[in-house]
Chains A and B, each alone.
Chain A
Amino acid sequence: MRRQTTLLLSVLWLIAGSSCNTDQVGDNSRIEWIIPYKEGGGSDIWARFLAPFLGQYLPEQPTVLVRNVPGGGSLKGVNWFYQQAPNDGSVIGHTSGSTAMNYLLGDSKVAYRYDDMKLIFATPTGGVLYISPKLGVSNYQELDLLKGQKLFYGSQGATSLDIVPILAFYLLDLDIKPVFGMKGRGSGRLSFERGEANVDYQTTSAYLKRVVPLIEEGLAVPIMSWGSLDEEGNVIRDPTVPDLPHFLEVLAWAKGPEILETQEVKIWKSLFIAGFACQKLALLPPGTPDSIVHSWQEATRGLMKDPKFIDNAPKVLGGYMPIVGDKGEKLIKEALQIKPEYRQWLTDWLYDTYQAKVQ
């Protein structure tokens, strides 16, 4: 009796258990959005904001659930998504600027390629560089005065997204010493406010909320933005900070317009697009039928007209609207198809300057 009941119970539970396991995939009313980062981070908040809107504008209005798969930066989640996610539209993915940096630098742990994942939409961000007033520089035309001063920049690491500002400093011949090991841009700003770092950048939304008050108190001086992209893929001034010149403007002013045609600047532009102008992507796995890609893109276009979305988007997306369709696709593919010699230059430069090895 006892033995039989026990056996029966185990079998019952086996069945119940396996059914529990399977209903997590393949259910049409639930779509999983794989976020390769932890709960509470930038990408997580971004996805949790967008998910209900996307569901609402898809045919049959499924529930879009965020599922966090962190690990190895973002590599674990994105590798899984690229290699194993079903391509029937029941699972969508996400990559962020740092995922693209791993790819561009040729990290050996990367198992994904950008050219065969399908882009649903991309959301841009921007960045603003500012410096301490103690350096005696009030705008980009006086940047020469920085020479000979001790300049520190609090950085997350040379092979992270910070490669964009660090390469910009290099191109401007500014001898700014990055101090690595910061936990995020927030730590970098704290270091600036403490007076340890005297050069810093923040994404535009953090800049508007947290740096502009410092500027008003005379504690920070804005110099330039990283810029923004227009329809044709040209770098233009960032619309959220139109009074500030963008980096390429400043570079052309300092070194002459010829410099914009050099290999180094082209590399910077690739990194800038992957890290800022098309920073956060929503993707479908390789091999997804075009009809499914299309309905997701339509859903995105739909949510962009939703008044509730328009009201709330600036809080999370920082004043930029998603880029949908061919334009974004073309920009990203161009930026991420980095020439082997460019990659070589980049890894050599990182190693020579910072002994940073790409593993």
Chain B
Amino acid sequence: MFNAALEGLEIVLEINHLIFMFAGILMGLVVGIFPGLGGLVGLSLLLPFVYGMNETQALAMMVGMVAVIPTSDTFTSVLMGIPGSNASQATVLDGYPLSKQGQASRALSAAFFASMFGGLLGALVLTVFLVCARGVILSFGTPELFMLSLLGLSMVGVISGNNIFKGLVSCGLGMLVASMGSAPATAEERMTFSSLYLFDGIPLVVVGLGIFALPEIIDLLKSSTTIAQASRLGGNWLQGIKDAIKYRWLCFKCAGVGAIIGAIPGLGGSVVDWIAYGFAMQSAKDKSQFGKGDIRGVLGPESANNAKEGGALIPTLLFGIPGSGNMAIFLGGLILIGLEPGPAMAKDDLDISYAIIWSLALANLIGAGLCLLISKPVSQITRVPYPILAPLMIMVITFAAFQSTRDFGDLAALLIIGLLAYFMKQYHWSRPAFLIGFVLAEQTETYLYQAIQFYEWSFLTRPGVWVIFVLILFSTIIGYRYLKREKGNARASAFELPVGPELIFGGIILLFSTIFLINSFELTFTASIFPIGVSLMNLILLAVIFYQIFKRVPVLKVSGSFDWFPASAKDPGFRYYFTWWLGYYGLILLLGFFPATALFVTAFLWREAKVRWKTLTGIVLGTAFFLWILATFLKIEFPQSLIF
């Protein structure tokens, strides 16, 4: 093993190898920064070149790219509140508030430092466990995977804010939305309304963008300032590194969690950041700043999502089963260059495995360094007046969402989820809880079903199940204690508000759950039991919430208002900006993406931002150039007109 490790190092340090790796890193940086592109687009762009290259060069390039994506996708998550990829959704929760406080470069450097640390730890885990990981991975059967999904769901307790009932309904709603499409066991259609788009379910990327980005953009437009609301950009990048060092144990623990979850095939890479976030929150004494700009909320998920890629390499290399979305493409690349992953990777091909591991470590180091270097200038973007930034961000989100299946359904889903999320934000229905439910629904359902099929109910007697059960218990207790304390705080700050609008919103969720319930009765038992259970749970919890709303239980702490209509002359309200957005999508349907974007950006800058024509020309030309590059060099597809 030691010899193989050295041989691997020798391969990595060859100048040829380094050059190709660097090319991969640069490419990873570029596609990672744009939300919605990420590993899938990047690696599929690389594939045509990979074929025909020699084995180690191709590997160097692919690993370089895979390693930096979870680092560079942090930029938009922190600076704009747009999740850069599925792996950095949780980073938005605290990273973005930090940007708003003018501490963007601190948040970024903390994130990059944590990413680098996580990546290195992931590589270390790989080095040590590659030879013996097989047995460990095989000991996780379907019962354990089911329990791990429950453990993830138990994070809802701490994450859902001050009303556990609303948090649970949000989570349940996320699960129902995830259950739309073909049922995992029987492939029956659930709530698809015979639409091909819904048959595959709504993609996570679209849900993530809708949940976070759309409400933030509209809220910021209403206040029409800059992202950084402090007059001066405080908190420099050194501060971020100091933060990372100060919370080194947190980074260490979260990276460990990330590597382990990444290594267990079948759990999926997108849960990692949420579990790390919940974990960071649970282990903190003072939780009051989470969600408002606690640096620990950035450090946790960021150290975990880079470590995850290291962990995810284990099942990819040993079993040929991708541990994450990026790994699925990576696996494809391996096959194209003639490396068939399998048990041999831990035996005869061990030197190649180590070359991959060392490349991963080195690429993480270089990637994080490059990101740190550009973080200071890039964070100036938070000082640009928001009405100028907004149309460009709307455009970016639109093509990011469209990349997931290249169907107009993506845009429709983005709008509907975004609308839902906007009101969830107003009335404090936890959006992270919704996402956790969405991400874990399918696994929970599938593994429970499979565990019962394989073991019947005796699966509950397995020791692994009990170990995880104790962890779930811990997690629930911490969540419960946190809630109790929050309840006390909320009582003091409760205030009276009209309850009508929130009742309507709750009513819509009630209606959706009921329709899902009725729809499920037409399906076979296997396909229907899960949505029936979740809908019923939602209905019961909603009854409690309605009771609370009527009784004006102080714990509600509703701070938002129902602002569908213009609030004042200065703030034209949600409906106004949502109409702009709708109009843009109408134009896309009519004219196609390019012309529609031209019209939309121009009109918006002119009417809303009221910029001078020179600036306007500059921005529009710049945007056109940017889109042209995407279309020509990255071969990105844009929505085309339905008519022409």
Contacts and interface: CB of A to CB of B under 8 A. Distances in A.
B405 interface: yes
Interface of B: prevailing SS = helix
A17 B319 contact: no
Contacts of B139: 194
B595 interface: yes
Contacts of A145: none
Given A157-B185, A179-B454, A9 B617 contact: yes
B332 interface: yes
A290 to B, nearest CB: 31
Contact of A72 (B41, B199, B595): B199
Interface stretch (A130-138, A182-190, A278-286): A182-190
A180 B398 CA distance: 36
A122 B93 CA distance: 50
Nearest to A212: B342
A39 B637 CA distance: 14
Given A18-B592, A181-B446, A187-B321, A10 B602 contact: yes
A209 interface: yes
Given A357-B188, A359-B188, A14 B321 contact: no
A209 B98 CA distance: 50
Interface in B568-598: 591-595, 597-598
A45 B320 CA distance: 15
Nearest to A197: B454
A269 B452 CA distance: 33
Given A40-B40, A71-B199, A196-B454, A10 B598 contact: yes
A76 interface: yes
Nearest to B628: A20
Contact of A179 (B196, B450, B595): B450
Contacts of A214: 343
A17 B44 contact: no
A194 B265 CA distance: 12
Interface in B173-212: 184-189, 194, 196-197, 199-200
A13 B342 CA distance: 51
A213 B186 contact: no
Contacts of A194: 138-141
A188 B637 CA distance: 34
Contact of B44 (A18, A39, A355): A39
Interface string B606-626: 100000110011001100100
B644 interface: yes
B343 A210 contact: yes
B543 interface: no
Nearest to B631: A20
A6 interface: yes
B336 A315 contact: yes
A195 B320 CA distance: 18
Interface string B434-447: 00000000000010
Given A16-B594, A17-B594, A76 B613 contact: no
B353 to A, nearest CB: 15
A359 to B, nearest CB: 6
A152 B453 contact: yes
Given A179-B454, A213-B342, A6 B335 contact: no
A137 to B, nearest CB: 20
A6 B332 CA distance: 47
A196 B451 CA distance: 9
A17 B588 CA distance: 12
A123 to B, nearest CB: 15
A274 to B, nearest CB: 18
A65 B328 CA distance: 21
Given A13-B620, A21-B644, A48-B336, A355 B196 contact: no
Interface in A182-221: 183, 186-187, 189-191, 193-197, 205-206, 209-210, 213-214
Given A18-B595, A45-B332, A76-B196, A180 B185 contact: yes
Given A16-B624, A181-B446, A213 B319 contact: no
Interface in A334-349: none
Contact of A2 (B40, B406, B591, B613): B613
B633 to A, nearest CB: 13
Given A18-B592, A48-B47, A213-B344, A196 B319 contact: no
Contacts of B620: 9, 13
Contacts of B592: 17-18, 21
A187 B266 contact: yes
Nearest to A178: B453
Contacts of A13: 594-595, 598, 620, 624
Q: Which 3 A-B pairs have the closest CB atoms?
A: A17-B594, A13-B598, A40-B329
9 contacts: A1-B613, A9-B621, A10-B602, A109-B194, A180-B526, A183-B266, A196-B450, A205-B340, A359-B188
Given A21-B644, A39-B41, A186-B321, 10 more contacts: A10-B599, A39-B40, A39-B43, A39-B332, A41-B328, A72-B197, A179-B453, A209-B344, A213-B342, A312-B338
